[in-house]
Amino acid sequence: MDHFVYRGGILHAEDVALTDIAATVGTPFYCYSAATLTRHYHLFTEALSPLPNLVCFAIKSLSNVAVLKLLGDLGAGMDVVSGGEYRRAKAAGVPGNRIVFSGVGKTREEMRLALEGGIRQFNVESEPELRALSEVATSMGVVAPITIRVNPDVDAKTHEKIATGKKENKFGIPIGRAPAVYAEAARLPGLDVVGIDVHIGSQLTDLEPFEQAFLKVADLTRQLRSEGHNIRRLDLGGGLGIPYTRSNDAPPLPMDYGALIKRTVGDLGCEVEIEPGRLISGNSGILVSQVIYVKNGEGRDFLIVDSAMNDLVRPSMYGAHHDIVPVIEGPVGSPTQPFDVVGPVCETGDTFAKERDLPLLTEGDLIAFRSAGAYGAVMASEYNTRPLIPEVLVKGDHFAVIRARPSFDEIISRDTIPAWL
């Protein structure tokens, strides 16, 4: 469910007409619904109750500081994968004891940053990282709380580029080697082993892979405890998928996911952390664009719009589907026809949809790409010197620009011509 609905034939974000936002900020732009973000966060906290838990929003899915503050004020933790994301979480007012640091390539500078500013835990992904963190923490005279990310070799049955839990993926330590790595962690100075971390992929639409992974984690917890480790926290990652089309079978609900967690690890007496991103942010955002031209080709018609692959790369990068709808709804029974929806970037890959059945749109019409809140603005670039597009947050009947469109002067001024040219 989201809060983007037609009222009087015009698509609204909560109580704000998207036509009003477009008239104020121009197109293209991202628009997020505060009510949808709030509702989706609470779905997870309700699903995990009464287990002790912390829902850590995966910042990589949507990193605008205003969104992070909204979720942080609700009590959310944050899952960060870089020093920059850590800084964003702190700028949003999230305390360090609600921030977990994931990622395979943490630098010593990033470790130091988090230890100085406060951190709930590092999710350690390799033996070299374990040793580096021990060195940094010891040099600072502090203790770093850690989990170790184990790779359970479970097929998440998702796109190969977002699968993270198979043995050929770069993430985590093979689960069979975990006891030896935990033993090393216990010997190293400056580390406090608090738990286990696992994450098997993104956009999962079946609970079975989760069950396989969580059962392996439960067995490992019992084994590590028998070997003297005080395992008291389980970070089970994120990955629950969302419906990208209105016609698709719906993925499992957070309540079903929570029931699975309780069934597989709920008897261990551990605090549970999860790291949802897409399910909180995905359907909370849309991308609004304007038709520049309708081009009639030979056997193919094109809608050329003012958003492009640099604004929303998922269709080009993953072959991802986003429902595309007109902002102004036509009468019931209005004719439709297939269009290729493309952007102005000079790449054939700048294609959002092929032969998509859409109303007979014309130059100047507005369209919306649904379910664009996750991995949309965060993956955008300025390719072709196209400015990053505005982000807008709606709450009730008002909206605010939470990231402005930069001017061309601002973009070009970042370049420096050396004195010898």
Q: Which residues are catalytic?
A: 346
Supply the DSSP string of 358-417, one letter for each residue: EE---TT-EEEESS-SSSSGGG---GGGPPPPPEEEEETTEEEEEEPPPPHHHHHHTS--
Residue 399 phi, psi (nearest 5): -140, 160
Give the H or E element holding residue 273.
Answer: strand 271-274
Tokens matching residue 384: 């072709």
Distances (CA, A) of 393 to 16, 87, 183: 11, 21, 47
DSSP string, 39-60: HHHHHHHHHHTTS-EEEEEEGG
Query: What value does the CA radius of gyration of the chain take, rounded to a whole number of Å?
Result: 23
Distance CA 71, CA 75 (A): 7
Residue 5's DSSP bridge partners are 12
Main-chain phi, psi angles of 370, to 5 degrees: -80, 165
Through-space distance between the first and last CA atoms of the chain, rounded to whole angstroms = 56
Q: How far apart are CA 361 and CA 87, in angstroms?
A: 43
Question: Cis peptide before 243, with omega less than 30 degrees from 0?
Answer: no
Block residue for tokens 């480790």 = 229
Locate the DSSP E strands across 8-118. 10-13, 16-17, 29-33, 53-58, 77-80, 99-101
Which amino acid does the sequence have at 319?
G
Strand bridging mode 144-151 / 191-197: parallel
Q: Could you tell me how many helices (H) and strands (E) the chain has, helices first?
A: 12, 21
Alpha carbon 314 to its chain's center: 12
Of 163, 84, 181, the C-alpha closest to 127 is 181
